[in-house]
Structure 1
């Protein structure tokens, strides 16, 4: 079995079309057909069912695809690791992040990292809390910024980087807008704008309100932090939002109010897999993250700049 045969097989299996696979591989269709035929002869099984111009995997072909994708991923990973071992400052960091860290924290850290390692590259994935955890476990990414750290996940490990405050965001026309700070229960009876179910920030908001004697009335949901800010600016409701997400980006027609009683916080950290090593360049970035947020005081000084 040759590596080229595996590559051709995966491409055909994903596209379910011999001609399209040949175009993607930049080879003649006859070359692809011949390699697939040779592979089936060598294995002694039929991997595809031909249906005119379309082809589909047989059940055994589907099983073979799963194993070959894993094998091919391991080969590609080994090639990247060898290249990065020779020059770790030029590799790629694959990292995930939630919407709430997209506007300030992640760009700031990446910018500072690339001042030290200007040729490092990043592959970024944004998603919900569960999506980020699953992506690290499955190997789609090798680390993720997340808050709070998951309490019990055997295939990942995490480290808290800093603790952030959640604040109230209100329209400037809201009756409470002129106050310097508010108690959380003062928002009872207001329509709330929150993240959808499955997002950890929604759970934090709902739990905090419940502990203060009320269940918030959810009027609107938004997957993106900027969308939530926009809905608040339009006077459609109130929200609790990480203070850091408002640095340099407080929407027009809104006010940010600290919560004086009780404070609502979440820990933000980084998670990495336990069952595989980080790539050399990712190890550099992981070390950089830990050093950057080594002390809460040092991080707060950066935020205030």
Structure 2
């Protein structure tokens, strides 16, 4: 069994079409067909069945695909470890991040890191809170930024980098806009614009409101920070956002208000796997990030 056969097999399985797989692999269709036939002969099973001009995995083919993908990922990771052991300053760091950290944390950290390690490359993957946790557990990623940081478990390590306040954002015409700070309970009768149910920042806001005795009335939803800011600016409702969402600026026609009695915060950090070692360049980056935010906190 050869690596080439396994990679051809995965390419055909993903496209369910031999000629399309061959085109993607930049080889002749006959070469792909021959290697698939050799693989099936060696295994003693049929991996595909023909459906018109396409092919479809057999039940045992689906099982074999699952293990093949895992094996190829392990081999690719092992080669990456060897390459980076030889020269960690030329590695590639794959990082996951949610949209809420895209405008401040990610560019700030990566630009600072690149000044000290200019030859290290980055592969960035945006995803939901739940996706990023699962990606770490399933070997798709080794590092991911998250806020708030999930509880440590048997599969993931966690490192809190900083804690930030949650602030209220209201339309500039709102009666509370003349104030600089409010209590969260002051918003109990307002319509809220929030991330959809299932997003972590939806959960953070709903739990914060419930902790002071009310459930927020959701008037509209948006799937990113800019959408929520725009809805507030249009007078559709109020929202709660982390301080880092305002580092560039507070949107026009809105007013940011500090929350007091009680204040609300979220922690932000990085997660990484328990059951496998980070690549050398990833270790360098993780150490850099930890020291970077430690230094920042000293100036606050």
TM-score by length of 1: 0.94
Q: Is the 8 A contact 1:8 1:36 kept in 2?
A: yes
Give yes or no for the alignment of 1:192 onto 2:184: no
Deviation at 1:51, TM superposition (A): 2.4
- 3-state SS of 1:163 partner: strand
**Counterpart position of 1:43:** 43
Asked whether the 8 Å contact 1:209–1:216 carries over to 2, the reply is yes
Could you tell me how far 1:222 is from its partner in structure 2?
A: 1.4
* Alignment CA distance shift 1:45-1:299 (3 Å): farther
CA contact under 8 A between 2:194 and 2:222: conserved in structure 1?
yes
- After superposing the two structures, state which structure 1 stretch, 149-158 or 56-65, moved more: 149-158
Contact 1:162–1:296 (8 Å) recurs in 2: no
Matched, 1:139 2:139: yes
What residue number does 2:73 align with? Answer: 73
**Which secondary structure state, in structure 2, belongs to the residue aligned with residue 235 of structure 1?**
coil
Q: Give the secondary-structure state (helix, strand or coil) at the position aligned to 1:168.
A: strand
Q: Runs of 5+ in structure 2 lacking a partner?
A: none
Q: Does 1:203 align with 2:200?
A: no
**CA displacement 1:61-107 (0-9 Å, x = unmatched):** 11111111111111111222211112111211111122221111111
**What's the offset of the Cα at 1:261?**
1.7
Q: Output the CA distance in 1 between the equivalents of 2:51 and 2:270.
A: 48
- Please list every run of 5 or more consecutive structure 1 residues that lacks an aligned counterpart in the other structure: 301-305
- The aligned counterpart of 2:273 is 273
Q: How does 1:1-305 map to 2 (within 5 A)?
A: 1-294=1-294, 297-298=297-298, 300=300
Q: Deviations over 1:128-153 (max 9, x none)?
A: 22111111111221111112222253
Give yes or no for contact 1:129–1:198 (8 Å, CA) kept in 2. Answer: no
Mapped to 2, the partners of 1:109 and 1:206 lie a distance apart of 30
- For 1:285 and 1:207, the matched residues in 2 are separated by 33
TM-aligned CA deviation for residue 299 of structure 1: 6.3
By how many angstroms is 1:160 displaced? Answer: 1.1
Quick one: distance in 2 between partners of 1:229 and 1:211?
Answer: 24
Distance in 1 separating the partners of 2:196 and 2:295: 32
TM-score normalised per structure 2: 0.96
Alpha-carbon deviation of 1:298?
A: 2.8
Q: For the Cα contact (< 8 Å) 2:152–2:158, is it kept in 1?
A: no
Q: Residues 292 and 299 of structure 1 are in contact (CA less than 8 Å); yes or no, is this contact kept in structure 2? A: no
Alignment partner of 2:267: what SS?
strand
Q: Which moved more, 1:264-273 or 1:48-57?
A: 48-57
Displacement of 1:269: 1.4
Whole-angstrom CA distance in 1 between matches of 2:147 and 2:229: 20
Q: Name the structure 2 match of 1:303.
A: none
Aligned residues: 300
Q: Distance in 1 between matches of 2:161 and 2:20?
A: 47
Range that drifts further, 77-86 or 278-287: 77-86
Q: 1:248 to 1:58 in 2, by over 3 A?
A: same
